[in-house]
Amino acid sequence: GSRGTYTKELAITIFSKVLYYFYMLLIPMLFVDIGFLQWLAGFALMHFISGVVLGFVFQLAHVVEDTHFPEPNPENSIENEWAIHQMYTTANFARKNIILSWYVGGLNYQVEHHLFPKVCHIHYSKLAPIVMQTAREFNVPYYDQPTFWSALKSHFRMMKKLGQPDADPVPVPVPVPVPVPVPKVA
């Protein structure tokens, strides 16, 4: 039951934490000739850089002009199906930038990442055209910024909009899409 699941998840979490500190703290201290302060500075810098990178990735994938911010209805549920919700609330950016895709582990393909979380990111570039075509066929948006910089500009415009005193904090309702036939893209 849920008690067994909780215990298993807790055991996995504790094991993962112990393993992490073993290879991030103990192994370097035993086998690399550096002092504790040098290690601590490197450890802090690594976490700072990865935090900034992930912060940029998640902001550019979710807080841009196109994405929606639906709120639950009075029954505490979201109006659309799960996959449609992902399409409205997620955006890709810089899909053709292979260096960025490598550096962020494919997280610039957030749409595909949300729809197929267990698929390895190296397949996202091949999945993207299929997802785009399917979105067209079902009249669902596929949000995509062509470059990192265009996504960053869209994010800053969105932040400016949200920072206005007259900004409407209530999200625009997301329409329930109606499938429409669309010719296939070659």
CA 122, CA 70: separation in Å to the nearest integer?
A: 30
How confident is the prediction for the chain on average, in pLDDT?
88
Q: Which pair of tokens denotes residue 113? A: 């990442």
In this structure, of 40-49, 56-65, 70-79, 166-175, the range with the lowest mean pLDDT score is: 166-175
Position 178 pLDDT exceeds 70? no
- Highest mean pLDDT among 1-5, 28-32, 104-108, 160-164 belongs to 104-108
Q: Which pair of tokens denotes residue 85? A: 């919700």
CA 133, CA 129: separation in Å to the nearest integer?
A: 6
Contact predicate 64/153, CB 8 Å: no
Q: Which pair of tokens denotes residue 78? A: 């979201």
Give me the pLDDT at residue 108, please: 97
């709120």: which residue's tokens? 71
Give me the pLDDT at residue 180, please: 47
Cβ neighbours of residue 177 closer than 8 Å, sequence gap 6 or more: 80, 84, 138, 139, 140
Position 75 pLDDT exceeds 80? yes
pLDDT digits (tens, 9 = 90+) for 49-61: 999 999 999 999 9
Cβ neighbours of residue 170 closer than 8 Å, sequence gap 6 or more: 71
